Amino acid sequence: MTNTLITIVGATAIGKTALSIKLAQHFGCDIISCDSRQFYKEMKIGTAVPDDNELASAPHHFIQNRSIFEDYNVGQFEKEALAKLDTLFKKKPIQIMVGGSGLYVDAVLKGLDYFPDVDPQIRIDLTQQLEEKGIEHLQQQLEKLDIEAFNTIAIDNPHRLTRALEICIGTNKTYSSFKNKPKTLRNFKSIKIGLTADREIMYNRINKRVDIMMNSGLLEEAKSLYQHKHLNALQTVGYRELFSSFDGDFPLSFAVEEIKKNTRRFAKRQGTWFRKDPNINWFDFKENHLTIINKIDSFL
């Protein structure tokens, strides 16, 4: 059988973890996580890391395997994930990958885009603008310079936003123009499964998840990380809002509502990213997993 990577995508809180476990159990294989924040062992509650029972239900990789104090990027993940898949495919020709980080999914399935080097002073200037004028100032710049990037990248992520802007400014070309060039072929085929739900249902699930996180100790987790709030890994929805509350910018109750709002925005951007991929086979989040397995079997 040809090596096949079944990839499960969709917005946050849509049920990807539960489906990945059912598929891994059915096919007797492992799960590669490509959630760009679940890598970090210090960020368990705020990133909705699978619980102990879920982790014990199937072999998982790339979950809490890094520290927030390490420099880690999508290029490193691509190399490590491909190396891990080479090993796993020797044991089983079917493997599972799951996550809502579209860039990390694409890195494994298609490879990364090439971007030219630019003057490092540009990043320094943009970082200063971020500190002095806030993230919305940079978002407005990107909207003017590259509307396609503005509509597709995670513009609430300061690192991604700054990266897109420095390419636009440093090359006098759009960040988007360097995307989607020919990549190295993979030694496996891919089957993409997407989970979806009506917007109201999705937003309700997100709101409930945030409440569960708060009841499970997210506030205490954020307090333990507060002194490291400058680290890139912590520029993340759920932590950023609580840090602002700790700074006295607004009360805790408002911070929780901001987490919900910003998570809903993030889910919307995830939808925008994945909907542009015509190769994703979409299912309602409540679809019986056996129906999805039958669909996968038809491809195999």
User: In the chain, where are the structural domains located?
Assistant: 4-112+183-299, 120-178
Residue 116: the pLDDT is 87
Higher-pLDDT residue of 94, 181: 94
Instruction: Give the pLDDT mean for 182-187.
Output: 80
pLDDT tier at 4, thresholds 50, 70, 90: very high
pLDDT tier at 180, thresholds 50, 70, 90: confident
pLDDT at 182 over 80: no
Nearest to 40 by CA among 250, 233, 185, 274: 233
Residue 53: the pLDDT is 96
Residue 237: the pLDDT is 96
Residue 185: the pLDDT is 83
One CATH from 3.30.420.40, 1.10.10.10, 1.10.20.140, 2.130.10.10 for 120-178: 1.10.20.140
Residue 48: the pLDDT is 94
- Residue range 4-112+183-299 forms a domain whose CATH class is alpha beta
Instruction: Give the pLDDT mean for 262-275.
Output: 93
Instruction: Give the pLDDT mean for 101-113.
Output: 91
Cα–Cα distance for residue pair 118/206, rounded to 1 Å: 38
Instruction: Give the pLDDT mean for 204-216.
Output: 97
Instruction: Give the pLDDT mean for 81-89.
Output: 97
Residue 101, burial from CB neighbour count under 10 angstroms (0-12, 13-18, 19+): buried
The mean predicted confidence, pLDDT, of the chain is 94
Percent of the chain residues topping a pLDDT of 90: 87
Report pLDDT digits (tens) over 5-21. 999 999 999 999 999 99
Percent of the chain residues topping a pLDDT of 70: 99
